Amino acid sequence: MKRYRVGVCGGSGYTGIELLRWLRQHPAFEVEFVTSESQAGKSITNCEPYLFDYEGMVYRSLEDKANFQDTDLVFLALPHEVSAEVAPRFLEAGIRVIDLSAAYRIKDKHVFEKAYGFSHPSFSLVSEAVYGLAEWQSQAVQKARLVANPGCYPTSILLPLLPLVQSGLVSEGVIIADSKSGFSGRGRKTDIPGLFFEMNENFYAYSVGNHRHQPEIAEQIHTYSRGSYEIVFTPHILPIDRGILSTLYLPFDKDPTEDVYHLWEQAYGDAPFVRILKGRFPQLKWVQHTNEVHMSFTYLAAQKRGIVVSALDNLVKGASGQAIQNANIMCGLPETTGLITQKGV
């Protein structure tokens, strides 16, 4: 098997560490360097003692010129502003980029800058960036120089929803997405809301009505849908480490259950990381530490509403696992390479 030299930028945050955990078992990807501005010059295993496979490696600064040499592909697990600055430098060096930030996900500059609060220095690259929802964009991902890895909440919402709105099965109107994420979705921050005492035995909604993932979700629905839909998205934080469970409320004029499952089977029958459940609903324990997404459906006839429930691991299928899945596709490898999954719950 051909070997590919990869770099991980932002290797001391949760998504960067998750990348390193999965990459250590990948048969085709060899980690050439790992960056961390907060830990630059320090041994990786001194900072993260459980990353035994990286013994002898030292965190580099992003500014190290060696980062831009002898590398085939780089993962950017960086703040949005930093990715927007550094991605062009890797592309200019002939290195393909998978960006786990939101810097290249949204096609409308005004919408992006309103949501993320900074002036984008390399927005022209957005036009060529492929939105890496792997099950929907595999052909484009294979040819891409720059892949915008989707957000965790959008992945949990879009994968079950897109086949339904693309077909026109969902009645036009308002789609409600109620999503709950484990605490790692906040990132590796040290602040008062992140203290154990603040989070333990607590549960709350946040960024109500203005979460940054809202325009990303809306843009993708608009891209694929045959009808007119509005999305109401409310995220919540759970007092657990990882996982997202999303409940979607969809308008239907009549019972669409048979059609929903038929469309899902058409879209994902051969997708190794999508599990379609009938007669039971996803649980976070079933998807934690996997690159899978589970989805199920029921219909409420009296309310003419369908309910979709989906679940995934926000650090894996919602971030680092999907990034590796996209990297596999870019390199012409089976998308399951290095992402062990077992069928059967």
Which of helix, strand or coil describes residue 285?
helix
Helical H runs in 55-211? 80-92, 109-116, 134-143, 152-167, 196-199
What count of other Cβ atoms lies within 10 Å of the Cβ of residue 55? Answer: 10
Q: In sequence order, what E strands does the chain have?
A: 4-9, 29-35, 73-76, 96-99, 130-131, 146-148, 173-181, 204-205, 229-237, 244-251, 274-276, 293-300, 305-312
Which of helix, strand or coil describes residue 64?
coil
Query: Which H or E element spans position 28?
Result: none
Marked catalytic residue, from 9, 47, 152, 331: 152
Contact, 292 vs 272, CB < 8 A?
no
Q: What is d(CA 67, CA 89) in angstroms, rounded to the nearest whole number?
A: 10
User: Quick one: which of 75, 2, 3 has its CA closest to 33?
Assistant: 75
Which of helix, strand or coil describes residue 162?
helix
Catalytic residue status for 152 = yes
Measured in whole angstroms, the distance separating CA 8 from the mean position of its chain's CA atoms is 16
Cβ within 8 Å of residue 272, ≥6 positions away: 335, 336, 341
Q: Catalytic residues, which ones?
A: 152
